[in-house]
Amino acid sequence: MGNDNRFELRMTGSGGQGLILASIILAEAAIMEGKIVTQSQVYGAEARGGTTKAELVVSDRHIAYPKVTDPDLLAALTNEGLKQYGGGISRKTRVVIDSSVMSAPDFLDEENCRGLLSLPIRSTLISKLQSELGLNVVLLGIIEGLTAIVSVETLRKAVSMHVKKQFLDLNMKALDLGMEMVEAQVKTGIRI
C-alpha cells in the first residue's frame, strides 16, 4: 500500500509444475540478499493437476499483510490458472503467459496492465533442452530477466539448494533459457 520497495509476484498454473517451489527458491534468494519475504500458496486437495497459485512478497521492511494484493508480476502457465487467479491486476502489473499452451486473453490490453509478454515457455524448454522438467526454473529465469529482483548469482545459488546434483546442469540451463527469452524479446523492441 503505497510502499515503493514492495514487490509482489503471483504465479499460477497446474499442480506439479513446481510453481510453489519456484516461489520458495526466489524467497530464499531474496533472504540471502537481506530482504524480508512472505511466501504463500493456494492449492486444492489433489497432489497434482489442480489449479495452483503461488505468491511472493519481497520488501526491504516488515511485511504486514502477507498476501499479494496488487501484483507487480503475474505469470500464468495455464489458461485455467489465468482464469481463476488473473483478477486483481492493475496498470502496474506485468503479465507473462506461456503462449505454447494458451492464447493471449482478451481481457488484457494496454489499458489494464503494464504489459503482456507472451512467450512459448513450454515448447522452447522442450525444443532447446529436450526436457519437460524445469518449467518452473525457466519461469524463474524469465522473472529474473524482467525484474532483476535478486542478483543472478544469488538466484543460481538458491536454485542449486533445491536441485539434485544430476539435475543441476539442466536447471542452470533452464534458468539461462528463461533469461535469454526475455533478452530476445527486449531486442525485438516489443514493450515489455
Partner 1 sequence: MSEKMVLMQGNEAVAEGAIAAGVRFYAGYPITPSSEIAETMARRMPQVGGTFIQMEDEIASIMAIVGASMAGKKVLTATSGPGFSLMQEGLGYACMVEAPIVILDSMRYGPSTGMATKVSQMDLMQARWGTHGDHWVIVLSPSSVEESYQLTIRAVNLAEKYRNPVIVLSDETISHLREPIDISIPPTIVDRKLPTEKAGYAPYKTDESLVPAIATVGTGFRTTFTGLVHGESGFQTANGHVAEALVERLRDKLFNNLDDIIQFETDRVEDADVLFMSFGITARGVSEAVESLLSHGRKAGSLRFITLFPFDDDRVRKAAGSARTVVVPELNSGQLVLLIKRVFGDSRKVVPLNKINGDLISPQEILNFVQEENL
List of residues contacting partner 1 (CB under 8 A): 1-2, 24, 27-28, 31, 34-45, 63-67, 69
The smaller minimum CB distance to partner 1, of residues 35 and 122, is found at 35
The least CB distance from residue 148 to partner 1, in Å, is 20
Contact residues for 96 (Cβ-Cβ < 8 A; gap 6+): 73, 74, 75, 76, 117, 119, 139, 142, 143, 146
Q: Which of 60, 62, 69, 6 shows the shortest CA–CA distance to 40?
A: 69
Count CB neighbours of 89 within 10 A: 21
The least CB distance from residue 55 to partner 1, in Å, is 10
Instruction: Tell me phi and psi for residue 54, to 5 degrees.
Output: -120, 135
Q: Which three cell numbers stand for residue 71?
A: 501484483
The least CB distance from residue 85 to partner 1, in Å, is 12
The smaller minimum CB distance to partner 1, of residues 45 and 187, is found at 45
Give strand pairing partners of 51. 14
The least CB distance from residue 34 to partner 1, in Å, is 5
The smaller minimum CB distance to partner 1, of residues 34 and 189, is found at 34
The least CB distance from residue 82 to partner 1, in Å, is 19
Q: Which three cell numbers stand for residue 43?
A: 492449492
Please check whether residue 144 is in contact with residue 23, taking contact to mean a CB–CB distance below 8 angstroms.
Answer: no
The smaller minimum CB distance to partner 1, of residues 90 and 112, is found at 90
The smaller minimum CB distance to partner 1, of residues 49 and 66, is found at 66
